[in-house]
Amino acid sequence: MADAPITPRILAPHLQQFQHRTVRILGKVVQLLGESAVINADGNVDLKLTADCHLALNHAVEIIGKVEPNLSVKVLKATDFGTGIDFQAANAVVDVTHRYKEIFYSD
Residue numbers of the site for other proteins (CB under 8 A)?
Answer: 1, 3-4, 6-9, 24, 60, 62, 77, 79, 81-82, 84-86, 89-90, 92-93, 96-97, 100, 103-106
Shortest Cβ 80–other proteins spacing (Å): 9
* 63-84 burial code (b ≥16 CB/10 A, e <16): bbbbbeeeebbebeebeeeeee
Pick the closer one to other proteins by CB: 47 or 94: 94
* Residue 11 φ/ψ, nearest 5 degrees: -125, 175
**DSSP-assigned letter for residue 3:** T
Pick the closer one to other proteins by CB: 12 or 62: 62
Shortest Cβ 92–other proteins spacing (Å): 7
Pick the closer one to other proteins by CB: 16 or 106: 106
Alpha helices by DSSP H, 1-107: 87-99
